[in-house]
């Protein structure tokens, strides 16, 4: 073993631990939100899942996955441009395009790869990319992998974004989460669209966490928009997607490195996502969205993501431990996921949660807030 590398790795791990930022996966055996967490003797209710509608274990979705595995196996075996494309991929892409009201869509193995593929492909040297300062890490990394000039605008600040665009004379792109993953607030789509029209800019909207609320299409007349999504959150499966005009999709199929050089999305995941999307667009989907909206209302949230900003890493860890002792698992979110000094509990609600579970969490959070103020 290289002593120098061993020492450097140990030093970095020590720095992470000293800052109360060390993390490790914990095994959680569950179907839905209740299950057994490694280190706990009793079942816990998780409030951290991105399976917002509980579709990961919906009978129709599970049945579709099983049938696909039996018929096609569990892996595609190659990239889409070699031998990895299956009929189910095209069926899912067509269904997503219809759902989003776009000409076409293209699948990626993950939502992360969708963003780095899109931004890396379109972010050429003569392009300006304007990115909200609270955008997801996949957007940040996609910007870094591009050759474009990158400008980060203050969160939701349309005036700041306008000032950046007004000083640029060339091709421009604005990229924003639609619902922000750590704060749960929503992009000002009307303002973004107006700036795109004014400066002839391309709009990229990452809709990964957008489950309920207004469809952004009502604000997008006259705007060229690419809509990025995941199959792992609203649809409870796995994968990523970019939906938009046909020529943009065709370009991504030809130049996006994360598409060209990755094994295709598992046909099992594609079949599950297709079944989940059909469920989402049915009366059953409406019922699930209503249940989620009900749960959001119980905690007074603007979306299913409700951040409780605490401050220090130590206090966030303590608050998470107190909840876990009561059978509620809300992991502490710490830097580098969020800025220093904003460690938090990130409550993530699902249609799976019963009203009693949500009210129990609400009562526990209110009690915790009193104890923290009294320390």
**pLDDT exceeds cutoff 50 at 370:** no
Q: How far is CA 341 from the centre of its chain?
A: 23
- Residues 292-315 have a mean pLDDT of 95
Confidence of residue 368 (pLDDT cuts 50, 70, 90): confident
Instruction: Return the structure tokens found at 166.
Output: 């007004």
Give the model's pLDDT for residue 112.
98
Q: Who's near 10: CB < 8 A, 6+ residues apart?
A: none
Give the model's pLDDT for residue 367.
86
Give the model's pLDDT for residue 79.
97
Which one from 89, 100, 136, 209 is the annotated catalytic residue?
209
Give the model's pLDDT for residue 373.
44
User: 217-246, pLDDT tens digit by residue?
Assistant: 999 999 999 999 999 999 999 999 999 999
Which one from 146, 181, 258, 348 is the annotated catalytic residue?
181
Range 57-280 classified under CATH 3.30.160.20: no
Which one from 233, 258, 303, 348 is the annotated catalytic residue?
233
Q: Span 26-52+304-374: which CATH code?
A: 3.90.1150.10
Across the strands, what pairs with 69?
A: none
- Residues 344-356 have a mean pLDDT of 97
**pLDDT exceeds cutoff 50 at 341:** yes
Nearest to 233 by CA among 348, 332, 337: 348
Give the model's pLDDT for residue 375.
38
Helix (H) or strand (E) holding 191: helix 189-199
Answer yes or no: 163 catalytic: no
Confidence of residue 91 (pLDDT cuts 50, 70, 90): very high
The number of beta carbons lying within 10 Å of the beta carbon of residue 251 is: 15
Answer yes or no: 181 catalytic: yes
- Cα 209 to Cα 187: distance, rounded to the nearest angstrom: 12
Answer yes or no: 233 catalytic: yes
Q: Who's near 327: CB < 8 A, 6+ residues apart?
A: 42, 43, 44, 45
Tally of CA atoms within 13 A in the half-sphere of 54 that contains its CB? 24
Strand 127-132's sheet: what is its strand order? 104-108, 240-244, 225-230, 202-206, 171-177, 127-132, 149-153
Q: Are strands 240-244 and 305-311 parallel, antiparallel or unpaired?
A: unpaired
Helix (H) or strand (E) holding 349: none
Give the model's pLDDT for residue 306.
96
Q: Which residue has tokens 């057994």?
A: 36
Residue boundaries of the structural domains of the chain? 26-52+304-374, 57-280
Compute CA distances 360 → 119, 286, 329, whole Å: 42, 25, 12
Confidence of residue 301 (pLDDT cuts 50, 70, 90): very high
Secondary structure class of 306 (helix, strand, coil): strand
């Amino acid at each position: 073993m290289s002593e120098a590398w061993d020492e450097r790795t140990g030093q970095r791990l020590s720095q992470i631990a000293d800052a109360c930022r060390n993390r490790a996966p914990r095994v959680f055996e569950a179907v839905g939100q209740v299950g057994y967490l490694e280190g706990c003797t009793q079942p816990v209710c998780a409030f951290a899942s991105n399976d917002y509608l509980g579709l990961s274990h919906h009978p129709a979705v599970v049945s579709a996955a099983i049938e696909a595995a039996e018929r096609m196996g569990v892996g595609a075996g190659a990239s889409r441009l070699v031998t990895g494309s299956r009929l189910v991929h095209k069926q899912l892409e067509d269904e997503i395009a219809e759902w989003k009201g776009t000409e076409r869509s293209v699948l990626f193995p993950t939502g992360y790869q969708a963003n780095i593929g899109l931004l890396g492909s379109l972010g050429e040297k003569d392009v300006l990319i304007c990115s909200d300062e609270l955008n997801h890490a996949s957007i940040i990394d996609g910007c870094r992998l591009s050759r474009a000039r990158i400008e980060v605008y203050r969160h939701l600040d349309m005036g700041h974004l306008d000032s950046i665009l007004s000083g640029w004379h060339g091709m421009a792109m604005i990229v924003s989460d639609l619902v922000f993953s750590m704060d749960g607030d929503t992009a000002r789509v009307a303002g973004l669209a107006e700036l795109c029209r004014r400066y002839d800019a391309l709009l990229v909207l990452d809709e990964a966490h957008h489950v309920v609320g207004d469809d952004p299409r009502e604000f997008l007349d006259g705007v060229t928009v690419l809509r990025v999504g995941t199959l792992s959150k609203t649809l409870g499966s796995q994968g990523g997607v970019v939906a938009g005009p046909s020529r943009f999709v065709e370009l991504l199929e030809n130049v996006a490195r994360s598409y060209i050089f990755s094994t295709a999305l598992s046909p099992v995941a594609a079949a599950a996502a297709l079944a989940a999307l059909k469920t989402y667009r049915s009366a059953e989907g409406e019922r699930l969205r209503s249940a989620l909206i009900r749960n959001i209302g119980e905690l007074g949230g603007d979306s299913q993501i409700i951040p409780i900003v605490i401050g220090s890493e130590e206090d966030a860890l303590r608050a998470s431990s107190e909840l876990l002792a009561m059978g509620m698992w809300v992991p502490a979110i710490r830097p580098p996921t969020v800025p220093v000094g904003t460690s938090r509990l990130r409550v993530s609600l699902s249609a799976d949660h019963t009203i009693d579970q949500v009210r129990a969490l609400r009562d526990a959070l209110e009690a915790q807030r009193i104890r923290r103020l009294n320390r």
